[in-house]
Amino acid sequence: MTELTELTAVQLVDGYRKGEFSPVEVTRAALERAERIQPEVNAFVRITAEEALAQARESADRWRRGEPAGLVDGVPVTVKDILLMRGAPTLKGSKALSEKGRWDEDAPSVARLREHGAVFLGKTTTPEFGWKGVTDSPLSGVTRNPHDPSRTAGGSSGGAAAAVALGAGPLALGTDGGGSVRIPAAFCGIFALKPTYGRVPLYPASAFGTLAHVGPMTRDAADAALMLDVIGAPDARDWSGMGPSAVSHQGVLREGVRGLRIAYSPSLGGQVRVQPGVSAAVRRAVEHLARLGAYVEETDPDLTDPVDAFHTLWFSGAARVTQHFGPYQRELLDPGLREICGLGARYSALDYLAAVDVRMDLGRRMGRFHESYDLLVTPTVPITAFEAGAEVPKGSGHRRWTGWTPFTYPFNMTQQPAASVPVGVDGDGLPVGLQIVAARHRDDLVLRAAHALDAVTPSGS
């Protein structure tokens, strides 16, 4: 019999409906798993066991009456400690913030999950203010990879990815401003979707502006589609949010990839050096897509690395986060964050607008590209997980995390939907992720292709 912690959200809801097990049993199992993994991987900043069990008992009563509250009633979920969750402090990995406060408001995505009966296990780790592509912070320490604890889980949603990978809840809420759901998904061997900007409302607004997306982190595309149907509902607090989705994301999954035009770019035209193990796993998955009836062409988008413009936008956002901090608070910051805040504070309005110009031109070029191709496929990251506690791999020559994430942050600049799908492991047994990108508002195509890959590469094997 499959352990309860290994079941997907779709399987849990089906089991509740059939009376095979209860939300209380499932929540107890998930909490036990969370407590067991915490000393080694450090996925959580707070486990809310009493609250979760109370929510589970209420869910069990609803299921007994045949009146579930919604699509994920009784399903355990975790929330990255960037997003507000009623009843728990949101400290964002920072010692510079205080626990004092009412903490009586949910972020929109959390509110939608609560309305649908989800069970909240707790808050997951993040680097300070989600500023980098690995997860360690002055507040909560280092989060480690579930496949090799000497290595990083990635970031900035590293705790969420580790929790899902190890069975501490099948659903996790993450945020992604430059790859922050996709990077840890690739390193930890799970699925993650950065939806089209605005598809999932965000409040309070991110200091990183319209680079920041909220997205589901799950074991597979089917669970992500289920979760997106819940959290993708409008919320009046987000002035830039989209209206209701025209489709059920669960409903489109089985349409497959037959006839879709897929551009496969193994290295963005030779701009990126990709580890052989990563290249091989991604290419095998692309060949699967072709066998499933997609038209695959090896080609590259008209994309030169926009890293300088991204840094202007990102570092300016970091400076804005800490603008009102005094000297004592600044001393508490992660030294790397303190450094980029200093850089960001020196940019002018003209520098920022020049970066916006680069962003708009990149969006135009990707829009034209998707007139010819439904999907773009790349590696999610060109490497597998490296040593924990470091921003960049030792000996890489990179200065910042963006040096080893060239496939992810461009699509935050363009606001396109992008997912990381687990497609196997390298020679050291470390997970490899494949990235699927579509035109804005075509989250359905990303999920269809990911679901097709799940069927032929289960669990990324």
Segment 113-139, tens digit of pLDDT: 999 999 999 999 999 999 999 999 999
Local structure of 49: helix, strand or coil: helix
The answer, yes or no, to whether residue 241 has pLDDT greater than 90, is yes
Local structure of 266: helix, strand or coil: coil
* Domains within the chain, CATH numbers bracketed: 4-460 (3.90.1300.10)
User: Would you state the pLDDT for residue 1?
Assistant: 53
Q: Are 170 and 212 in contact (CB under 8 A)?
A: no
Local structure of 261: helix, strand or coil: strand
Residue 59 catalytic?
Answer: no
- Average predicted confidence (pLDDT) for the chain: 97
Local structure of 270: helix, strand or coil: coil
Q: Are 221 and 458 in contact (CB under 8 A)?
A: no
Distance CA 247, CA 157 (A): 27
User: Would you state the pLDDT for residue 458?
Assistant: 55
How much of the chain, in percent, has pLDDT values that exceed 70? 99
pLDDT band at 455 (very low <50, low <70, confident <90, very high): confident
Tens of pLDDT, residues 286-310 = 999 999 999 999 999 999 999 999 9
Q: Are 135 and 155 in contact (CB under 8 A)?
A: yes
Tens of pLDDT, residues 72-107 = 999 999 999 999 999 999 999 999 999 998 999 999
Catalytic entry in 156, 157, 206, 420? 156
User: Would you state the pLDDT for residue 456?
Assistant: 83
Residue 156 catalytic?
Answer: yes
Q: Are 181 and 166 in contact (CB under 8 A)?
A: no
DSSP 411: H
| Residue 120: C-alpha distances to residues 27, 31, 114, 177, 230 (Å) | 9, 10, 8, 24, 15
Tens of pLDDT, residues 311-322 = 999 999 999 999
Phi/psi at 350 (5° precision): -65, -40
User: Would you state the pLDDT for residue 457?
Assistant: 73
Tens of pLDDT, residues 342-351 = 999 999 999 9
Phi/psi at 395 (5° precision): 80, 5
DSSP 76: E
Q: Are 368 and 439 in contact (CB under 8 A)?
A: no
Q: What is the 3-state secondary structure (H, E, C) of 119-144?
A: EEEEEECCCHHHCCCCCEECCCEECE
Tens of pLDDT, residues 10-21 = 999 999 999 999
**Continuous segment of H or E residues that includes residue 424:** strand 418-425
Q: What is the mean pLDDT of residues 182-202?
A: 98
Distance CA 420, CA 412 (A): 14
Q: What is the mean pLDDT of residues 313-339?
A: 97
Catalytic entry in 80, 92, 132, 194? 80
Distance CA 75, CA 94 (A): 29
The answer, yes or no, to whether residue 279 has pLDDT greater than 90, is yes
Distance CA 229, CA 200 (A): 10
Tens of pLDDT, residues 353-394 = 999 999 999 999 999 999 999 999 999 999 999 999 999 999
How much of the chain, in percent, has pLDDT values that exceed 90? 98
Query: In this structure, which amino acid lies at residue 8?
Result: T
Q: Are 137 and 184 in contact (CB under 8 A)?
A: no
The answer, yes or no, to whether residue 244 has pLDDT greater than 70, is yes
Distance CA 117, CA 271 (A): 46
Q: Are 249 and 229 in contact (CB under 8 A)?
A: yes
Tens of pLDDT, residues 101-116 = 899 999 999 999 999 9
Distance CA 435, CA 24 (A): 36
Local structure of 406: helix, strand or coil: coil
- Sign, CA dihedral 307-308-309-314, equals positive
The answer, yes or no, to whether residue 461 has pLDDT greater than 50, is no
Produce one character per residue of 434-444: b if its CB has 16 or more CB atoms within 10 Å, e if not.
bbbbbbbbbbb
User: Would you state the pLDDT for residue 239?
Assistant: 94
Task: Write the DSSP string, 301-359.
Answer: -S----HHHHHHHHHHHHHHHTTT--HHHHHTS-HHHHHHHHHHHT--HHHHHHHHHHH
CA-angle at 227, arms to 224 and 230, nearest 5°: 150
Task: Please report how the helices 23-41 and 158-165 are oriented relative to each other, as an axis angle in degrees rounded to 10.
Answer: 120
The answer, yes or no, to whether residue 459 has pLDDT greater than 60, is no
Catalytic entry in 22, 137, 157, 180? 180
